[in-house]
Amino acid sequence: GQQVMQIPQYQHVQEGEDFTTYCNSSTTLSNIQWYKQRPGGHPVFLIQLVKSGEVKKQKRLTFQFGEAKKNSSLHITATQTTDVGTYFCASENTGGFKTIFGAGTRLFVKA
Amino acid sequence: DGGITQSPKYLFRKEGQNVTLSCEQNLNHDAMYWYRQDPGQGLRLIYYSQIVNDFQKGDIAEGYSVSREKKESFPLTVTSAQKNPTAFYLCASRLTALTEAFFGQGTRLTVV
């Protein structure tokens, strides 16, 4: 079935360093969504990418969707302690509705 | 105040007992979902429903059951057939395909 693989599983950074998490699929994705889950909390939607090669920015966060629509990345510039949490990518099967999440990348930021 | 509500936040049950987790939304969303999250793990899809009176199995449906009799409600029953029921359960809803999912606060189920 449809799967999205996410790497790395964990990332420890010093505050001010950059961070990137990657999401990969063996099949073409209809879309990619990114969510953030703070420790002890629930996932919160960040953004959705739909078009091939799409790039979107939210302040220090940059989201990319690959040209072949099989991979995506989330890059955080100059991490802050408020960035701590787990970042998930998610995608839907062809036809929609069945939403599958990647395993997530847990970000630790040391002040 | 619109949102998606899960109750209770914490639930303890004895092994062998069925337990039902509540999920209610007043966002007028058609689609609803149940995910299971284990410590340090991602979200695994249990069941989802695109519309009232219809639902489909996700990747780990064994030992679980659902109903969707009302648009607002999508309860999940964890049956005694579920071998490792202790986990964090998250309910989500979305308006339609290719839209953002809104999550409830989750229910942390512990079976002893």
**B58-74 pLDDT, tens per residue?**
999 999 999 999 999 99
Residue B41 pLDDT > 90: no
Report DSSP letters for B34-93, one per residue.
Answer: EEEE-TT--EEEEEEEEETTEEEE-SS-TTEEE--SBTTB--EEE-TT-S---EEEEEEE
Interface test with A, best of B30, B34, B43, B95 (most A CBs within 10 A): B43
**A62-103 pLDDT, tens per residue?**
999 999 999 999 999 999 999 999 999 999 876 678 899 999
Chain A residues 19-78 with CB within 8 Å of chain B: 30-31, 33, 35, 41-45, 48, 50
**pLDDT confidence band for B96 (50 / 70 / 90):** confident
> Would the CB atoms of B100 and A48 count as touching at under 8 Å?
yes
